[in-house]
Amino acid sequence: MSPYIHKVKYYECDPMGITHHSNYVRFMEEARVDFLDQLGYGFEKMEAEGVVSPVLNINVKYIKPSKFQDEISISVCLEKTSALKYTFHYVMKIGETTICTGESIHCFMENGRPVVAEKRFPGLAEALGKFSDGRIAGAEI
């Protein structure tokens, strides 16, 4: 799986030239969307079938700043699963230096009601299992 690359835009920086902290959550979303696209389960496909994936929780750990025109490589993996929730883990790097880590927890909904992704999109659950970070080996999806 290829990491997602985000090049920091000028408007994403504060007056000190540092990427504003709120943008890292956006970078995580960009990377997750790209990750799902690479798996063949992009948002267009799911939303065309009436399924959405809202965010339930976000955690971000800021380690080092990034600046205008830095290229941030963002790796995504599946950290945990349950019948209704998926937790994605993100590592953001500039070169070999980790600048930020995070996690986001999501569910899948159809017609305003939670759905079990494994039943609704069995191929997605199988594909996600291949890209877990190893901390959930043997976990049931």
Q: Which residues are catalytic?
A: 14
For residue 101, count other CB atoms closer than 10 A to its CB.
Answer: 18
Nearest CA to 17 out of 71, 60, 69 is that of: 69
Helices (H), the chain: 23-39, 43-48, 117-120, 122-130
